[in-house]
Structure 1
Amino acid sequence: MSVGITLSTSGRIVRQLRHDRRTVALLIVVPALLLAVLYYMYEDAPGAFDRIALTMLGIFPFVIMFLVTSIAMLRERTTGTLERLLTTPLGKVDLLFGYGIAFSVAAAVQGAVATGVAYWLLGLDTAGSAGLVLLIAVVDAVLGVALGLLCSAFARTEFQAVQFLPVVVVPQILLCGLFVPREAMSGWLQAIADVLPLTYAVDALLEVGKSAEATATMWRDVIIVAGAAVLALVLAAATLRRRTP
């Protein structure tokens, strides 16, 4: 892995994102709008918006980054761009970590906008700081990037890439404790939830919601999510193909 090549790759991807206005709108504007919808849905239920919105600040970046990254990498492969890039000194690890860094920057902007809207326009109230929420949202978005890169290796078309959403993303949303507390689930569902990284992202956000200071449990959960992202990137590098047949 070359740091210079990785950063150069990140710069190329960031420049591509800047010129894709629809993707920029999806990354930055849509999460804020969805939070506004949640606000009006729960405006007559005191306290409900705080819990749901706090959790969604982690889930929205995860879902959107997974979708955008999986399709972006698939396009690199199907258009032959990836094959040409890999004939240069650029390695697979450089490419994938370059993607991870570039989309982490996008995730930081996305998280900052969404967190700002939630706290200062919609009145989100948590015991912990907005900075910790932003940190967890960015780590969660990087997880979405890593899983998107991994899943893109097994898709041949953009439609197939999207099909991984209900397979990889939706089960994590259902079992993370958003709808039903994990303690109330059947034992086998709890066991599955315990190995899904989004579970720990949601737990970390809930820790911020109830504790004024960063707790050891929160940091443990953040480290688990970050570790899952790195593992997914390594697996993506091992399974990445130059092009789609």
Structure 2
Amino acid sequence: MNLHIYAAGTTRILRQLRADHRTVAMILLVPSLLMVLLYFLYQDFPTAPGAPPLFDRVAVSMLGILPFVVMFLITSIAMQRERSSGTLERLLTTPMSKLDLLAGYATAFSLAAILQSLLACAVVFGALGLSTEGSPAWVLLIAVLGAVLGVAIGLLCSAFARTEFQAVQFMPVVVVPQLFLCGLLVPRNQMPDWLHAVSNVMPLSYAVDALSQISAAPSVTGQFFTDVAVVLAFTVAALCAAAATLRRRTP
């Protein structure tokens, strides 16, 4: 990697994002608005005496899931747009390497993801009154990691798509199974053994597991840090795989 080229590429992408007001609005506002919708959905839902409100149980997990989904979708489409417009091919004829390009994208969209997660956590913990046994700072950390993971996997999937429509088609293949098996709908320890084994190779499972631990315990455990390490490992692996599979020429 060339740090000067990487910094210039990151700045270029941030400028493009700033000029695209709709994309900025989607990145920053959609997770927060969906959390508000979830709050009103569960506001009057009855709960057993002594049990936490259903919103509290679901919202913690959604703070890791929604940023992941939004950033996956936006990143995969944005990268594919660079390819279809010919910008990607022109960039790769310069001294910019594939790793410079992908690292710039990952950094720019990760900065947007941090703002997204900060806003979502501020809305949920401030305006909507979400409470957890653990510190909200740990929830924010996992929300950011989930969003960055979405960026990395979005970049990887975009390398295999030839059009923006194909990039969107990866969502039901890559994202939806993770939503089903991450533990949000059914606890992972109650799944059939083969589904539990499949969930073990899906990174979103570890993000949701980490958030569940924060929700239930006042202090972090070794398992929490293991979950964080696994999410980080998946993120790095996805970025490396994206760099290895990125085509220099537009089909």
TM-score grouping bracket, smaller chain normalisation: over 0.9
Alpha-carbon contact 1:103-1:145 (below 8 Å) kept: yes
1:172 to 175, 178, 184: 178
For 1:49 and 1:14, the matched residues in 2 are separated by: 35
Whichever residue aligns with residue 190 of structure 2, its letter is A
Q: How does 1:220-239 map to 2 (within 5 A)?
A: 220-239=226-245
For 1:219 and 1:15, the matched residues in 2 are separated by: 35
Partner-residue secondary structure (3-state), 1:168: helix
The answer for the alignment partner of 1:26 in structure 2 is 26
Partner-residue secondary structure (3-state), 2:130: coil
Let me know the Cα RMSD of the aligned residues. Answer: 1.0
| 1:19-59 per-position Cα deviation (integer Å, ceiling 9, x unaligned) | 11110111111111100111011112351101111111100
The answer for the alignment partner of 1:196 in structure 2 is 202
Q: TM-score, normalised to structure 1's length?
A: 0.97
Alpha-carbon contact 1:77-1:242 (below 8 Å) kept: no
1:114 to 98, 120, 133: 120
Report the CA distance between 1:10 and its aligned residue.
1.3
Identity %: 60
Q: TM-score, normalised to structure 2's length?
A: 0.95
For 2:157 and 2:22, the matched residues in 1 are separated by: 23
The answer for the alignment partner of 1:217 in structure 2 is 223
The answer for the alignment partner of 1:76 in structure 2 is 82
1:86 to 88, 92, 110: 92
Q: Which runs of 5+ in 2 are unaligned?
A: 48-52
Partner-residue secondary structure (3-state), 1:242: coil
| 1:221-243 per-position Cα deviation (integer Å, ceiling 9, x unaligned) | 01100110100000000110134
Partner-residue secondary structure (3-state), 1:115: helix
Q: How does 1:13-162 map to 2 (within 5 A)?
A: 13-45=13-45, 46=47, 47-162=53-168
For 2:97 and 2:217, the matched residues in 1 are separated by: 43
| 1:155-207 per-position Cα deviation (integer Å, ceiling 9, x unaligned) | 11111110000000000010000001111111100000011000000001111
Report the CA distance between 1:83 and its aligned residue.
1.0
Whichever residue aligns with residue 196 of structure 1, its letter is M
For 1:214 and 1:26, the matched residues in 2 are separated by: 32
The answer for the alignment partner of 1:10 in structure 2 is 10
Q: Which runs of 5+ in 1 are unaligned?
A: none
Large movers: runs of 4+ above 2 Å = none
